[in-house]
């Protein structure tokens, strides 16, 4: 009897283990690929795996909806009433930290740096900007500031010619003024997308890159100021460029460039006549989200393309992050992108800088005195909503110490000043008595009359200067005749004159 050599028991055990491990490895590979596609991973420019935008509307505010002021409640209702199929949620100062910990803590995406940074921030506007990006990355949907009113349902935000599955973000143009790109104050804000309202699919790489960029910027500013993140002091321009519209715009342009494989600049979106998709981002015209701002050809809220209305009542944050304000000519932002107003501000501030320090002090003192005596305005118009035609403190002509302008305004200051004369034109001059004629004429004085004057001449007849005389009767004269004076007029050819040539007449 022949015996078959038996297989070692270890071989059978190994085969069984391999059969169990191989399927797990394959599943792990698929999970890794899925995670890379969703979170960015190695596929940094991969499109979202979500077919449609989440049907969810997000807002953030100091308090929850049950404690809203009436105006905030009215704005919020426009979103829920026009979009009944959407879930609505508000993150508040009290619960926002819990949201960040849940989604970015150990049980979420495990980003302790994000949680720590958000917890360290004390500045409300920086926290608000960062929170909206965290929400859009974690869950996506529609974000709108508390002072934004929905004019149309969200189903109309994407034109029929586009497929929602081919779009990862919906944004609108806020400022389209590239001619100011070189301006030292306005340049960084001259071309930007709105971030007071936008739509986003979850886990987009562009949102995480924006978040990481903000964290790096905050740490850089803290190092630069020698302070902690909680102690940072930031001005208006730093906020705009660090977390606001400028940071948002730069991140999106960089993402579009990655997806398209070529550099994408603002030129692609300047003076757009209709919405378009570029690199899976639907960019709406300026009228869609920024109607009524009074610049960038923004149109008005009654236009067909207007989708929202920004009321700006929650936009008082520049008071804690002040804009650059010239001590005499105020803030150039108050020009609201009016070219002539900006040129005037530039010319005045340039001339101010050329003055001796003593003259500068005098001008500043005059401005402070003027402000102290001026009546307090009821309420200043918010930035981005019309605004004044001239900056605070500016004058409609060149600075008083300049003999001639240096080309800052085409046509010269006289032309500019003439434009204002229509608004301040005085009424037509009324006829006045000539100074050389005395008012105390005696009753028997013979008035001078023209030879051709007729006895029945009407009050509309003109005097020697060609000006009409008012209708005045002799009985209106304040001079009383003497008792023995003759009341009857002189005999012919002297005619009776009703007020003509009477220097004692009183003009009404």
Look at residue 147 and tell me whether its pLDDT is greater than 70: yes
Task: Please give the CATH topology (third level) of the domain spanning 56-310.
Answer: Spore Coat Polysaccharide Biosynthesis Protein SpsA; Chain A (3.90.550)
Among 91-100, 144-153, 167-176, 472-481, whose mean pLDDT is lowest? Answer: 472-481
Mean of the pLDDT values across residues 225-238?
95
pLDDT of residue 382: 44
Higher pLDDT, residue 320 or 157? 157
Report which DSSP code applies to 468: B
Look at residue 9 and tell me whether its pLDDT is greater than 80: no
- Helix, strand, coil % in the chain, rounded to nearest 5: 40, 10, 50
Look at residue 116 and tell me whether its pLDDT is greater than 60: yes
Strands 197-200 and 148-150: unpaired
pLDDT of residue 376: 72
Q: Is 434 helix (H, G, I), strand (E, B) or coil?
A: coil
pLDDT of residue 314: 74
Residues above pLDDT 90, as percent of the chain? 61
Higher pLDDT, residue 360 or 467? 360
Look at residue 98 and tell me whether its pLDDT is greater than 80: yes
pLDDT of residue 422: 41
Q: What is the pLDDT of residues 261-284, one digit of tens each?
A: 999 999 999 999 999 999 999 999
pLDDT of residue 134: 98
Q: What is the pLDDT of residues 456-503, one digit of tens each?
A: 444 444 444 444 444 444 444 444 445 444 445 555 554 444 444 433
Residues above pLDDT 70, as percent of the chain? 64
Domain boundaries, the chain: 56-310, 325-421, 431-477+489-508
User: pLDDT tier at 51 (50, 70, 90 boundaries)?
Assistant: confident
Residue 283 phi/psi, 5° resolution?
A: -105, 120
Look at residue 411 and tell me whether its pLDDT is greater than 50: no
Measured CA to CA, the distance from residue 49 to residue 37 in angstroms comes to 7
Look at residue 126 and tell me whether its pLDDT is greater than 60: yes
Residues 398 and 405: beta-carbon distance below 8 Å: yes
> In Å, how far from its chain's centre is CA 270?
18
Look at residue 65 and tell me whether its pLDDT is greater than 50: yes
User: What is the chain's length?
Assistant: 508
Residue 232: CB atoms within 10 Å:
19
pLDDT of residue 31: 56
pLDDT of residue 468: 47
Mean of the pLDDT values across residues 440-466?
47
User: pLDDT tier at 209 (50, 70, 90 boundaries)?
Assistant: very high
The verdict on pTM exceeding 0.75 is no
Please name which of 292, 283, 361 lies closest in space to residue 328, comparing C-alpha atoms.
Answer: 361
Look at residue 236 and tell me whether its pLDDT is greater than 80: yes
Mean of the pLDDT values across residues 390-405?
43
User: pLDDT tier at 415 (50, 70, 90 boundaries)?
Assistant: very low
User: pLDDT tier at 27 (50, 70, 90 boundaries)?
Assistant: low
pLDDT of residue 354: 96
Residue 22 CB-density burial (10 A; 0-12 exposed, 13-18 middle, 19+ buried): exposed
What average pLDDT does the chain have? 78
Measured CA to CA, the distance from residue 83 to residue 152 in angstroms comes to 9
Mean of the pLDDT values across residues 371-384?
64
Among 46-50, 226-230, 344-348, 370-374, whose mean pLDDT is lowest? Answer: 46-50
Among 9-13, 36-40, 216-220, whose mean pLDDT is lowest? Answer: 36-40
pLDDT of residue 374: 86
Q: What is the pLDDT of residues 335-349, one digit of tens each?
A: 999 999 999 999 999
Among 1-5, 47-51, 219-223, whose mean pLDDT is lowest? Answer: 1-5
pLDDT of residue 507: 36
Look at residue 360 and tell me whether its pLDDT is greater than 50: yes
């Amino acid at each position: 009897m022949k015996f078959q050599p038996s297989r070692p028991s270890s071989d059978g055990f190994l085969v069984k283990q391999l059969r169990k491990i191989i399927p797990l490895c394959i599943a792990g590979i698929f999970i890794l690929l899925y995670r890379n596609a969703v979170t960015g991973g190695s596929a940094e420019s991969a499109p979202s795996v979500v077919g449609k935008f989440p049907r969810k509307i997000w807002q953030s505010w100091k308090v929850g909806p049950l404690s809203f002021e009436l105006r905030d409640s009215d704005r919020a209702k426009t979103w829920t009433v026009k979009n009944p199929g959407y879930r609505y949620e508000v993150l508040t100062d009290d619960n926002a930290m819990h949201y960040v910990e849940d989604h970015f803590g150990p049980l979420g995406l495990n980003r302790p740096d994000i949680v720590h940074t958000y917890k360290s921030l004390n500045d409300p506007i920086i926290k608000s900007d960062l929170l909206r990006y965290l929400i859009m990355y974690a869950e996506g949907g529609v974000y709108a500031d508390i002072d934004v009113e929905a004019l149309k349902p969200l189903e109309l935000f994407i034109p029929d010619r586009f497929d929602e599955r081919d779009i990862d973000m919906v944004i609108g143009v806020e400022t389209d003024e590239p001619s100011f790109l070189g301006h030292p104050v306005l340049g960084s804000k001259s071309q930007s997308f709105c971030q007071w309202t936008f739509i986003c699919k979850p886990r987009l790489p562009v949102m995480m890159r924006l978040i990481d960029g903000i964290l790096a910027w905050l740490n850089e500013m803290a190092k630069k100021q020698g302070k902690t993140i909680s102690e940072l002091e930031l001005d208006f321009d730093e906020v705009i460029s660090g977390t606001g519209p400028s940071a948002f715009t730069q991140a999106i342009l960089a993402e579009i460039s990655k997806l398209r494989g070529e550099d994408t600049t603002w030129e692609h979106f300047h003076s757009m006549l209709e919405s378009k998709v570029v690199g899976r981002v639907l960019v709406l015209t300026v009228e869609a989200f920024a109607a009524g701002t009074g610049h960038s050809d923004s149109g008005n809220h009654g236009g067909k393309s207007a989708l929202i209305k920004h009321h700006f009542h929650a936009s008082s944050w520049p008071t804690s992050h002040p804009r650059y304000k010239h001590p005499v000519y105020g803030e150039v932002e108050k020009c609201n992108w009016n070219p002539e107003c900006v040129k005037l501000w530039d010319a005045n501030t340039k001339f101010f800088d050329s003055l001796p320090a003593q003259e500068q002090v005098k001008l500043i003192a005059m401005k402070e005195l003027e402000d102290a005596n001026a009546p307090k305005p009821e309420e200043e118009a918010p930035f981005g909503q019309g605004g004044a035609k001239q900056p605070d403190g500016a004058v409609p002509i060149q600075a008083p110490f300049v003999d001639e302008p240096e080309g800052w305004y085409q046509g010269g200051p006289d032309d500019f000043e003439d434009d204002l004369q229509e608004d301040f034109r005085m009424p037509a001059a009324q006829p006045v008595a000539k100074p050389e004629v005395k008012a105390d004429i005696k009753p028997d004085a013979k008035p001078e009359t023209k030879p051709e004057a007729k006895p029945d001449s009407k009050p509309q007849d003109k005097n020697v200067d060609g000006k009409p005389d008012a209708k005045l009767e002799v009985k209106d004269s304040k001079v009383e005749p003497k008792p023995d004076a003759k009341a009857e007029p002189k005999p012919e050819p002297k005619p009776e004159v009703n007020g003509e040539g009477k220097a004692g007449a009183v003009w009404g």
